[in-house]
A and B are shown apart, each in its own frame.
Chain A
Amino acid sequence: AQSVTQLGSHVSVSEGALVLLRCNYSSSVPPYLFWYVQYPNQGLQLLLKYTTGATLVKGINGFEAEFKKSETSFHLTKPSAHMSDAAEYFCAVSDQNTGGFKTIFGAGTRLFVKA
């Protein structure tokens, strides 16, 4: 069965510091992997996704993530945090086994950015 684990329900960084949000997944077949961001009182919006091909994926707002099959990881990074990055981030996985419908979301990581 698929599952997603996000390490750390809260992460705090200083403005300008590296952002690293960790995500590990389990899937018995090649996965589709996603990072979504949620700003207060809004729905989720896609940051980036991996389906096939290049394992380093670039998304919006300077974020990127690398699919590492051997580590079953899809960690999200940004070289320099900005105050506007404060939000909740969700890692998600789906795969062909479940018809793609059953996208499984992690519990989320709330990012705080200190001035």
Chain B
Amino acid sequence: DAGITQSPRHKVTETGTPVTLRCHQTENHRYMYWYRQDPGHGLRLIHYSYGVKDTDKGEVSDGYSVSRSKTEDFLLTLESATSSQTSVYFCAISESTSGETQYFGPGTRLLVL
């Protein structure tokens, strides 16, 4: 199994509070991704990173920011959590982009009350 961990694994928070999710990898892969998984939508890309300090937006980036100060860590921040951000969040990594397998972390289940 690819060495990817996510923390926390479960979180309950209140509307309006900031929340940070962490993804940590031990594979030294260049590319890292944050997805959210919602019923009927599959996985949707929030943000991705192609190197330290190099990030860009995915299709559902509003309300989220990311940072990558080290190769192994990719942080996702919900600046002011809303109930619509209740979801399961997955981090993924890959060595390169096109055609490469993505390896997924175990997920973080977030409930915003």
Q: Do A and B come from one complex?
A: yes
Number of A-B contacts (CB under 8 A): 66
How many B residues have CB within 8 A of the partner chain? 29
Chain A's interface size range is: 20 to 34
A18 contacts B by Cβ under 8 Å: no
Q: Which of A41, A44, A100 contacts B98 (CB 8 A)?
A: A100
On chain A, the residues within 8 Å of B59 by CB distance are 102
Residue contact A43 to B45, C-beta cutoff 8 Å: no
With both beta carbons as reference points, the residue of chain B lying nearest to A107 in the complex is identified as B42
With both beta carbons as reference points, the residue of chain A lying nearest to B98 in the complex is identified as A100
Q: Which of B41, B99, B101, B105 contacts A43 (CB 8 A)?
A: B105
Mark contacts of A29-64 with chain B using CB atoms, 8 A cut-off: 1 yes-contact digit, 0 otherwise. Answer: 000101010000111111001010000000000000
On chain A, the residues within 8 Å of B97 by CB distance are 94, 99-101
Residue contact A105 to B98, C-beta cutoff 8 Å: no
Q: Which of B42, B99, B105 contacts A100 (CB 8 A)?
A: B99
A25 contacts B by Cβ under 8 Å: no
Residue contact B42 to A106, C-beta cutoff 8 Å: yes
B96 contacts A by Cβ under 8 Å: yes
On chain B, the residues within 8 Å of A100 by CB distance are 96-100
B contacts, CB < 8 Å to A: 4, 31, 33, 35, 40-45, 48, 50, 56, 58-59, 90, 92, 96-107
14 pairs from A and B in contact (CB 8 Å cutoff): A43-B90, A43-B92, A44-B90, A45-B103, A46-B101, A51-B99, A90-B43, A96-B98, A100-B96, A100-B100, A101-B58, A102-B58, A105-B42, A105-B43
A contacts, CB < 8 Å to B: 4, 9, 32, 34, 36, 41-46, 49, 51, 90, 94-96, 99-103, 105-108
